[in-house]
Amino acid sequence: MMIDELNGLTYIKQKIDELLEKKLTVIIGIDGMAASGKTTFANNLKEQYKAEVIHMDDFFLQDFQRTSERLLEVDGFVDYERFIEEVLRPLKMNSPFKYHKYNCQTKKMTEKYVNHNRDLFIIEGSYALKQSFDDIYDLKILMLIDDEKQLSRLSKRNLPHLVERFKQDWIPRENKYIKQYNLEKTVDCVIVSK
């Protein structure tokens, strides 16, 4: 199902409410293109549901992990091994957990405790819907944006050299990932940013 942002929020809230009637804990994955509104969408849901949001940006590869082999992987920019170990396994076991947030600007790790007394967990960011994570999600959302609006948003929030990096490297990689995993066909909802 493809839907715009405003109607998408209403639709997703309805789906969350239905899931929460049946399950004690609901886990949502929000993936998509850079600047498509993933974080804003997740934060809107967080406020309305007092949900816990886990950002895939916290699992960006550290410098020592960036081998040429790893960077050839379409979803290789994410430390998915650490994500599985620190987040997915405890979530599957319904256990409280801590995970390390990596800050790619300071190149440092910090530790974050997650209060597992939440009904709703939202995992948002590029590569959140990597195929090997599929079995954890109760609801999968893909967010898309047209090229012109994407570059406009990126230009407003990034320095020119970073916008160029998005254009040359990250956007083509994300597009390839979305296509390779056929995400538009395998998610529960595609939300198009206007």
Give the model confidence (pLDDT) of 145-190 as tens digits.
Answer: 999 999 999 999 999 999 999 999 999 999 999 999 999 999 999 9
Angstrom distances, CA of residue 88 to CA of 63, 93, 103: 23, 9, 20
Instruction: Note the pLDDT tens digit of each residue in 58-109.
Output: 999 999 999 999 989 999 889 999 999 999 999 999 889 999 999 988 999 9
Please state, in angstroms and rounded to a whole number, the distance separating the CA atoms of residues 108 and 64. Answer: 13
Domain 2-192 belongs to what architecture?
3-Layer(aba) Sandwich (3.40)
Give the number of residues written for the chain: 194
Q: Using an 8 Å Cβ cutoff, are 95 and 116 in contact? A: yes
Domain boundaries, the chain: 2-192
Q: Using an 8 Å Cβ cutoff, are 151 and 38 in contact? A: no
Output the pLDDT for position 134. Answer: 82
Structure token digits, residue 171 = 């956007």
- Flag whether pLDDT at 140 surpasses 80: yes
